[in-house]
């Protein structure tokens, strides 16, 4: 059986610089795959390329049996490829519930008419999906709130819930832990792990070693746009190339942990 998501030689060029350089990645159905790398390694560009937000200059992407290179972002989303954004990008003047609703319910040519004449009833399927997404993200009771009235950690979860509301086949998470403190980050890890029980495959991007090592089954490491290593968490933890490129020579898990804690503190003091 072919993998759910497969990229072959995926290359993204920004004015002579290869932000992604012949990237080959496979994500099997039902797995939890991570992509780590230092800041500026090209991780977000990779998600943008898969979801159609930046044009690729070479290579192919297959998703769920479709060649999706020519598809527009919304068409890829309709195939079940959902993503979150590093910088939230919520619909700030829609309530939490409406944010999810935009993603949860597909429309067609007669939607306008059924809206205007109020013929359309809310699909019970959609209701169920909505409730499920709210529950998974732990947002039950906050449906009517505006995202801007929520603390940062919960806003991140609204982004996650919105991606989930479409009940995607593959969920691409772009640095979900950025801006969260350690406790929130750990809680998020728990939420994420639960996703697998709901038949959703997850592809997680982060530079937070601790989070990625703790939740993923398989990990790719990217540096300067290239995949420099891949393997199980144990293999990555001990891979010399990864350690030198990413963690520094004397690295170990201890350092990763303390770095993570430091980051949590500095983010709390930050403008967020």
Partner 1 sequence: MDLLFGFFAGLGPGAVFAILGAGLVIAYRGSGVINFAHGSVAAYAAYTWNELRSVPSGSVGYEGGSIFLPWFDPIPEWGFLKALHINNLPVEIHIMAGPPAWLAMLVTLLMSAFIGLLMHLLVFRPLRNSPLLAKVVGSVGVMIYLQAIASVNFGAKNRSDYGFWEFSSTAEPITNFLGMDKNLPRSTPYLAISALIIGTIVWLIYRYTRFGLSTRAADENEKGATLLGYSPQFLAGLNWVISSVLAGLAGVLFVHKAQPSQLSLYIVAALAAALVGNLTSIPGAVFGGLGLGALASMGVSATRYSWWPDWLPPEGIRAFAPVLVVIVVLYLRGDKLPIRGTVGLGKQPLAPSTKHPFVGIGIGAFAVLLMSNIFTSKWESTLTTTLIAIMFMLSLVVLLGFLGQISLVQWSLAGVASFVLIRLSSNGLKVRSTDFFVVNGPDWPDPLAALGGVAAAVILGLLIGIPALKIRGLQLAVITLVSIVAVEDLVMRNKPIMGVASVTTNPTPEPEWFGQYIGALDESTYRNDYWKYTLFALITVCLASLLVVNLRRGLTGRRFLAIRSNERAAAAAGVNVARTKMLGFGVSSFLAGLAGMLIAYKLPMITSENFSPLAGLAMIAFAYIGGITTVSGAVLGGILVGGGLISEFSALHFEGITRSYINVVGAVGLVVTAIFTSGEGTALSVAKSAKAMVVGMRGSSEEPNIVEELNEPIEETV
Instruction: Tell me the DSSP string of the chain.
Output: ---SEEEEEEEEEETTEEEEEEEEEEE-TT-EEEEE--TTSSHHHHHHHHHTSS--SEEEEEETTEE-TT--HHHHHHTTEEE--TT----TTS-HHHHHHHHHS---TTHHHHHHTT-PPPPHHHHHHHHHHHHHTT-TT-TTS-GGGS-HHHHHHHHHHHHHHT--SEEEEE-TTTT--HHHHHHHHHHHHHHGGGT-EEEEEES-HHHHHHH-SEEEEEETTEEEEEE-HHHHHH-HHHIIIII-TT--HHHHHHHHHHHHHHHHHS--
Q: Shortest approach of partner 1 to residue 132 CB, angstroms? A: 17
Stretch of residues binding partner 1 (CB under 8 A), selected from 8-16, 112-120, 186-194, 239-247: 112-120
Q: Which residue among 31, 53, 186, 196 contacts partner 1 (CB under 8 A)? A: 53
Does 161 bind partner 1 (CB under 8 A)? Our answer is: no
Candidate residues 117, 151, 266, 271; the one interacting with partner 1 per rule CB under 8 A = 117
Note whether 90 binds partner 1 by CB under 8 A. yes
Rule CB under 8 A: choose which of 17, 55, 112, 248 binds partner 1: 112
Assess 127 for contact with partner 1 (CB under 8 A).
no
Stretch that binds partner 1, among 35-43, 80-88, 127-135, 199-207 (CB under 8 A): 80-88
Is residue 91 involved in binding partner 1 (CB under 8 A)?
yes
**Residue 159 or residue 264: which is nearer to partner 1 going by CB?**
159
Of positions 114, 194, 232, 238, contacts partner 1 by CB under 8 A? 114
Residues β-bridged to residue 8: 60
Q: Is 86 in the site for partner 1 (CB under 8 A)?
A: no
Which span (98-106, 179-187, 232-240, 249-257) binds partner 1, by CB under 8 A?
A: 98-106
- Distance (Å, whole) CA 36 – CA 38: 7
- Per CB under 8 A, contacts with partner 1 among 166-185 are 166
Nearer residue to partner 1 within complex by CB, 95 or 186: 95
Residues 6+ apart with CB under 8 A from 71: 52, 79
Q: Is 130 among the residues that bind partner 1 (CB under 8 A)? A: no
94 near partner 1, judged by CB under 8 A: yes
Interface contacts to partner 1, rule CB under 8 A: 51, 53, 72-74, 77-78, 82-83, 85, 89-94, 98-99, 101-103, 105-107, 111-112, 114-118, 120, 148, 162-163, 166
């Amino acid at each position: 059986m072919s993998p759910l998501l497969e990229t072959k030689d995926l290359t993204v060029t920004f004015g002579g610089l290869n932000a992604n350089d012949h990237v080959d990645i496979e994500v099997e159905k039902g797995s939890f795959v991570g992509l780590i790398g230092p800041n500026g390694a090209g991780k977000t560009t990779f998600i943008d390329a898969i979801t159609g937000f930046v044009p690729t200059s070479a290579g192919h992407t297959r998703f769920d049996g479709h060649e999706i290179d020519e598809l527009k972002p919304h068409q890829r989303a309709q195939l079940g490829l959902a993503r979150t954004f590093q910088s939230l990008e919520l619909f700030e003047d829609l309530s939490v519930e409406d944010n999810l609703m935009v993603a949860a319910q597909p429309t067609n040519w007669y939607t306008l008419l059924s809206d205007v004449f109020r013929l359309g009833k809310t699909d019970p399927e959609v209701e169920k999906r909505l409730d499920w997404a709210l529950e998974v993200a732990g947002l039950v009771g906050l449906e009517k709130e505006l995202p801007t009235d929520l603390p940062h950690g919960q806003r991140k979860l609204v982004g996650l819930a919105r991606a989930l509301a479409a009940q995607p086949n593959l969920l691409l998470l772009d640095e979900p832990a950025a801006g969260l403190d350690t406790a929130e980050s750990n809680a998020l890890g728990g939420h994420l792990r639960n996703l697998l029980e709901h038949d959703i495959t997850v592809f997680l991007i982060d530079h937070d070693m601790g989070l990625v090592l703790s939740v993923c089954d398989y990990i790719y490491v990217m540096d300067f746009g290239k995949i420099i290593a891949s393997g199980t968490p144990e293999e990555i933890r001990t891979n010399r190339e990864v350690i030198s490129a990413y963690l520094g020579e004397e690295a170990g898990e201890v350092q990763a942990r303390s770095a993570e804690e430091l980051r949590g503190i500095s983010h709390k003091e930050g403008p967020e």
